Amino acid sequence: MSVIIDILSGLCLLAGAIFSLIGAWGLLRMPDFYTRVHAASVLETLGAGFILLGLMLQAGLTLVTVKLLIIGILIYFASPTASHALARAAMVRGIKPLLAKPEE
Amino acid sequence: MGRPFGGIVIETLIVNVLLVLMAFAVLVLARTRNLFAVVVLSGIYSFLMATILVALDAVDVAMTEAAVGAGVSTVLLLGALHLCKSEEARPAHRPWLPLLLSLATAGLLIYGAMGLPDFADPNAPIHQHVAPRYLQNEVDVPNVVTAVLASFRGFDTLGETVVVFTAGAGIIALLRRRKHKEKGREGIAMRDDLVLLVVGKLLIPFILLFALYVQFHGDFGPGGGFQAGTIFAAGIVFYAIIFGLDKARRVVPDRLVETLLAAGVLLFIGVGVAGLLLGGNFLDYFVLDKDPIHGQHRGIFWVEAGVGITVSGVMLKIFYMFASRGQREGNEE
Amino acid sequence: MLAGATLALIVCVVLALLRAALGPTVFDRLQAANTIGTASVMLLALFGFLNGRPEFLDLAITYGLLNVIGVIAVLRFFRQGDLGAGEEPR
């Protein structure tokens, strides 16, 4: 049983690491501010979610899991809010999204 | 003691990588002229510093660094930034001599540091004197840092608290203007940013509750007065930023903040005087109860409470002063 | 696997730091700072597990909270020029 939990936890951590790397890579390489915000949000939701899930599986049913849950809820509430506020402020400041050229 | 992962090699590798990142952030920070970017980068620097401290297993310091450096400092620097230009002026002369001096001093320091004993070497001289006595833990508090801070080195902490109080008093003395009733700008709260309003309402009670948790859990885990005071002030600052300074001033009025400023220090000194009155020395906790160990617990509890109260008062007062000064200048234009 | 996730997150911090250094607009830098903050929260949780000390999680919660406060403070300053004003007339 514990072997299964270990394998699951390892898979979750691996998925979290991969999604985090994808998000950070996107943050660096995307051409425009709004697309970068979108890429970073992958890191904040999927990356964080899977890593925390993996850690929770390793911790079992203890206080540590509750704290990890609190961290997860906090990140899920706080990071998208910050991204939203950022995008909104950029919009107000006049940063235009990079749109595709209309087909001639 | 936690078991180091993958041996000392991986830990050293991670710490070195993070240090390089910090150096990189500092280099970019030094070369940037835009002060706004400087503030953001210094927040990043504080985050990295706190992570390194965690990797080095110094959790209380990391928490204080995170709370003060990455949270409240950023907000206060922004408040100060509003009052001055946002571009750094060009330096009047070339910095070759200062650079040379800095490099020479750095070289001397590094040369001196090479003579120190190895990091965390148990036979190092500093670990032979008071550390074994502290670790024997005659005050029976699981978190050694809190025990040292509040009990073994209580006078030192009293001095620090008074310094924090003095900083707050100094800011008040410098920035206070003649009071006049501030009319107008009474709050209509922000209606166009609904997401922030809702999330703020959810987060702020949690932040305040968490500050209390950190305060009272300081005996058993990382925490204590300094961290808790800063987190509490950060919660109220968050409220002020989202809902408006006027509303925040109604919830936590200026009088209350100034009272808190002084009350914490008085509480600390009061504990010391109580020790005197009960027959022991100043700040002697053993006499505070029939059972000396319980007396220690009581002493540490009230002393940490005093520290937390003063720190939260000072941080909040500084924020109020900076933010309202910006408001007034906006009104006068 | 824990060490692997830790290393991956450190690489994420490096990439975000590059964006913070490069970012043409200040909003890019802010987004990078937010990402570094979230990655640091994850790093702390992982360090806690690697070191065998679950007390680090209190620290991670502190980071997360202060990360939000910091980013929103910067935005409020940026949008309205000072930190005190909460109202915008409709």
Confidence (pTM): 0.86
Q: Is the pLDDT of residue C87 over 60?
A: no
Q: What is the pLDDT of residue B179?
A: 54
Q: Which residues of B touch C42 (CB under 8 A)?
A: none
Q: What is the pLDDT of residue C86?
A: 44
β-pair partners for B87: B34
Q: Which residues of A touch B202 (CB under 8 A)?
A: 77
CA A23 – CA B319 distance, rounded (Å): 35
Residue-averaged pLDDT of chain C:
80
Q: What is the pLDDT of residue C80?
A: 63
Q: Do the Cβ atoms of C64 and A40 come within 8 Å?
A: no
Q: Which residues of C touch B55 (CB under 8 A)?
A: 47
Q: Using pLDDT thresholds of 50, 70 and 90, give the confidence band for residue B178.
A: low
Q: Which residues of C touch A83 (CB under 8 A)?
A: 31, 34
Q: Is the pLDDT of residue C27 over 70?
A: yes
Residue corresponding to tokens 């992570």: B51
Mind giving me the DSSP string for A44-75?
Answer: IIIIHHHHHHHHHHHH-SSHHHHHHHHHHHHH
Residues 6+ apart with CB under 8 A from A25: A39, C15
Q: How large a percentage of chain B has pLDDT more than 70?
A: 89
Q: How large a percentage of chain B has pLDDT more than 90?
A: 25
Q: Do the Cβ atoms of B57 and C51 come within 8 Å?
A: yes
Enclosing domain of residue C18: 2-80
Q: Do the Cβ atoms of B199 and A88 come within 8 Å?
A: no
Q: Please tell me the number of Cα atoms within 13 Å of B121 on its side-chain side.
A: 8
Q: Do the Cβ atoms of A85 and B203 come within 8 Å?
A: no
Q: Is the pLDDT of residue B2 over 60?
A: no
Q: How buried is residue A2: exposed, middle or buried, by Cβ count under 10 Å (0-12/13-18/19+)?
A: exposed
Q: What is the pLDDT of residue B263?
A: 93
Q: Which residues of C touch B44 (CB under 8 A)?
A: 17, 20, 32-33, 36
Q: Is the pLDDT of residue B222 over 60?
A: yes
- Other C-beta atoms closer than 10 Å to the C-beta of A69 total 12
Q: Please tell me the number of Cα atoms within 13 Å of A96 on its side-chain side.
A: 3
Q: Which one of A27, A58, A77, A79 makes the best mutation probe of the B interface by having the most chain B beta carbons within 10 Å?
A: A77
Residue C76 in any domain: the answer is: yes
Answer yes or no: are the C-beta atoms of B157 and B148 closer than 8 Å.
Answer: no
Q: Using pLDDT thresholds of 50, 70 and 90, give the confidence band for residue B114.
A: confident
Q: Using pLDDT thresholds of 50, 70 and 90, give the confidence band for residue B195.
A: confident
Residues 6+ apart with CB under 8 A from B200: B238, B239, B242, B243
CA B259 – CA A101 distance, rounded (Å): 62
**pLDDT tens-place string over residues B240-291:** 888 888 888 899 998 999 999 999 999 999 998 988 888 888 888 888 778 8
Q: Which one of B191, B199, B213 makes the best mutation probe of the A interface by having the most chain A beta carbons within 10 Å?
A: B199
Residue C85 in any domain: the answer is: no
**pLDDT tens-place string over residues A9-66:** 999 999 999 999 999 999 988 888 888 999 998 888 899 999 999 999 988 788 888 9
Residue of B nearest to A76 (CA): B199
Q: Do the Cβ atoms of B195 and A77 come within 8 Å?
A: no
> Which of C62, A90, C35, C58 has the alpha carbon at shortest distance from B40?
C35
Calculate the alpha carbon distances from B179 to B175, B176, B254, B324, B328 in Å. Answer: 12, 8, 12, 12, 11
Residue of B nearest to A85 (CA): B196
CA B120 – CA A69 distance, rounded (Å): 34
Closest Cβ–Cβ partner in C33, C58, C82 for B44: C33
Q: What is the pLDDT of residue B100?
A: 93
Residue C12 in any domain: the answer is: yes
Q: Do the Cβ atoms of A85 and B195 come within 8 Å?
A: yes
Q: What is the pLDDT of residue B137?
A: 65
Mind giving me the DSSP string for B278-296?
Answer: TTS-TT--GGGSSSHHHHH
Closest Cβ–Cβ partner in C38, C54, C78 for A75: C38
Work out how many domains chain C is built from and give that number.
1
Residue C86 in any domain: the answer is: no
Q: Which residues of B touch C69 (CB under 8 A)?
A: 71, 75, 207, 234, 237-238, 241
Cβ of residue A29 closer than 8 Å to a chain B Cβ: no
Q: Do the Cβ atoms of B199 and A77 come within 8 Å?
A: yes
β-pair partners for B34: B87
Q: Which residues of A touch C75 (CB under 8 A)?
A: 85-86, 89
Q: Which residues of B touch C70 (CB under 8 A)?
A: 43, 70-71, 74-75
Q: Do the Cβ atoms of C20 and B41 come within 8 Å?
A: yes
Q: What is the pLDDT of residue B9?
A: 75
> Which of B234, B259, B250 has the alpha carbon at shortest distance from B313?
B259
**pLDDT tens-place string over residues A74-102:** 999 888 888 888 888 888 777 778 777 77
Q: Do the Cβ atoms of B196 and A77 come within 8 Å?
A: no
Q: Is the pLDDT of residue B328 over 70?
A: no
Q: Is the pLDDT of residue C85 over 70?
A: no
CA A12 – CA B149 distance, rounded (Å): 40
Residues 45-84 of C with CB under 8 A from A: 45-46, 49, 54, 57-58, 60-61, 64-65, 67-68, 71-72, 75, 78-79
Q: How buried is residue B99: exposed, middle or buried, by Cβ count under 10 Å (0-12/13-18/19+)?
A: exposed
Query: What average pLDDT does range B299-328 have in this prediction?
Result: 86
Residue C90 in any domain: the answer is: no
CA B308 – CA B237 distance, rounded (Å): 16
Q: Do the Cβ atoms of A81 and B195 come within 8 Å?
A: yes
> Which of B82, B74, B257, B238 has the alpha carbon at shortest distance from B172?
B257
Q: Is the pLDDT of residue B230 over 90?
A: yes
Q: How far apart are the first and last CA of chain A?
A: 62
